[in-house]
Amino acid sequence: MKNTAIVGTGSYVPEHIMTNFDIEKFLDTSDEWIFTRTGIKERRIAEKDQATSDLCKVACERAMKVAGVTASDIDLIVLSTITPDTHCPAGSNWLEAKLGCTKAVSFDVTAACSGFLFALHVADKFIKSGASKTALVVAGEIMSRVVNWKERESCILWGDGAGAAVVTESENGAQILSTHIHTDGAAGDTLLMPGGGSKTTPISYESVDNGLHFLKMIEANRSFKVAVNRFAEACEEAMSVNGYTVHDADIIIPHQANLRILQGMAKKLGVPLEKVYMTIEKYANISSATVPIALDEAVRDGTIKKDSLVLLTAFGGGLTWGSSLIRW
C-alpha cells in the first residue's frame, strides 16, 4: 500500500480582530462571562469583500510553498466548508480557479466541525488507491456570516479563517498512519442551519425573519457530553489501531470547540491538558478550519518536531466525528 504524507501546511486568519470587549458594546455580555464559559478572548472576522475561497487561497499558497509544489502539481482539491462562496458552483471550484490548478479535480466535503478530517480521509484514500498523486486538503469558514449576532449564547463562539495541507504519496514528510471518520445522522438536529436547503427554498421573508439561515445550537448541555465522549472515542480508536495508547501521543490537536469540552476530553482520556494544543482563546471556533490552523501553528512554533506522534481529532454537527494519527 502506498505511503501518504503531509509535506506542507499553511493557514490564514483575517487581520480584523473582534475582542470580547468589542462584543460588550452591542450585546448584553462581558469579557468575563464569555471567557469563563468558553475560554475565548477574541476571534478573527473576514472583511466584507472576502469570500471563503479567498481565505483558503492564502492558506493553500502557504502550504504549497512549504511543500515545494506548484499549481500544476496539484491534481486533487478537497475543500471542507459549511460556508462556501456559493452552493453552486462548489467553493472548491472557485478555489481551484483562483489558485490556477488547471489539472486538479475539486469538490467540497460538508461535515461541519469535523470536515478537515473527512477531507483528509478522502484525500488519503484517493492517493492510496492511485487515483491522485498530490492533493490540497483545505478547510475554510466565514462563520461570522451565519451566526445571529443578537444571540448571546452562540454568536460569541465563532470566528473566521482557513487552513490547508499538501498531501502526497511519499515515504518522506509527515506520515499519515491512519484516518477514521464516523457519523450519526439521527442526532443531526442538535447543531444545524435550518434554512438554505430544499426544505426552505425559495428563501422567503418568513424564513429570514424566523432566523432559519443562522446556525443554531440545540440542547447545548447534551451536545457537550456527547462531544467529550466522541472526542475520546476517536482518539482511542486512532491510537489503538496503530498499536499505541493515548499516552503515547506527543501532542493532541482537537477541534477548538470550547475550552470546557477540551478540558473534559483531556480528563476522560487521562492525559495532561498540556498535551492538548489550543488556539481557542485567540481564534474562537472556526468550525472545520480549527484543526488545520492549529496544526500549522504547532508546526511553525516548534511544538511539533521531527518524529512527533500527532493525534488529530474533531467532533461536529451531523453528528460527525473523526481522528487521524500522524508521525511527523
What positions carry a catalytic annotation?
113, 255, 285
Q: Using DSSP, how many helices (H) and how many strands (E) does the chain show?
A: 11, 13
| Residues sharing a CB contact under 8 Å with residue 25, sequence separation 6 or more, in sequence order | none
Residue count of the chain: 328
Distance CA 255, CA 258 (A): 9
Nearest Cα to Cα of residue 140 among 66, 59, 71, 194: 59
User: Do 316 and 114 touch, CB atoms closer than 8 A?
Assistant: yes
Which burial class, exposed, middle or buried, applies to 194 when counting CB atoms under 10 A from its CB (0-12, 13-18, 19+)?
Answer: middle
In the numeric block, the cell 481529532 is attached to 313
Backbone angles phi, psi at 46, to 5 degrees: -65, 150
Q: Cell for 112?
A: 461541519
User: Do 152 and 132 touch, CB atoms closer than 8 A?
Assistant: no
Packed helices 52-67 and 290-300: angle between N→C axes, nearest 10 degrees: 30
Distance CA 242, CA 238 (A): 7
Amino acid at 119: A
Question: What DSSP element (H or E) covers 309?
Answer: strand 309-316
Question: What DSSP element (H or E) covers 43?
Answer: strand 42-44
Distance CA 172, CA 73 (A): 17
Rg of the chain over Cα atoms, rounded to whole angstroms, equals 19
In the numeric block, the cell 486538479 is attached to 104
The residues that bridge with 165 in the sheet, in sequence order, are 9, 137
Amino acid at 140: G
